[in-house]
Amino acid sequence: MTLMLASVTGPEEAEVAVLQGADIVDLKDVGVGFGTVATEVVRATVAAVARRRPVSAVVGETTAPERIGGIAADLTQAGANYVKVGLSLSASCLPITGPTIRS
């Protein structure tokens, strides 16, 4: 099965993506590369999508691996169904620890 993931920056683009047949709405903060999406943007987008599609959000690349779990928890509490993490190949980013998150 093939699904379409549409990357969007907020609720307005998410609405267009849903209307055009996206299977997953993928939030990114393209203004900062692979940056963390603000929880307010996640909440607004989840409200706009209104459970018509799952919503994913990106934690982003971070040099502080101990923050990944907390940021991911914030994004899921804001309504994201999936959370993506950008990892550096730097050995200083390992191991990643944090809470196991299930939504």
28 catalytic, yes or no? Answer: yes
36 catalytic, yes or no? Answer: no
Q: Which of 28, 37, 60, 76 is catalytic?
A: 28
Helix (H), strand (E) at residue 59: strand 55-61
Q: Which of 5, 43, 82, 84 is catalytic?
A: 84
Residue 101 lies in a domain: no
Q: What is the pLDDT of residue 16?
A: 97
Q: How many domains does the chain have?
A: 1
Residue 99 lies in a domain: no
Residue 102 lies in a domain: no
- What confidence tens digit (pLDDT) does each residue in 63-83 have? 677 888 899 999 999 999 999
- Exposure letters 36-66 (e unless 16+ CB within 10 A, then b): bbbbebbbbbbebbeeebbbbbbbbebeebe
Residue 22 lies in a domain: yes
Q: What is the pLDDT of residue 92?
A: 55
Q: What is the pLDDT of residue 101?
A: 54
Residue 24 lies in a domain: yes
- What confidence tens digit (pLDDT) does each residue in 13-54 have? 999 999 999 999 999 988 876 778 899 999 999 999 999 999
Full residue range of the structural domain in which residue 46 is found: 5-93
Q: What is the DSSP letter of 65?
A: G
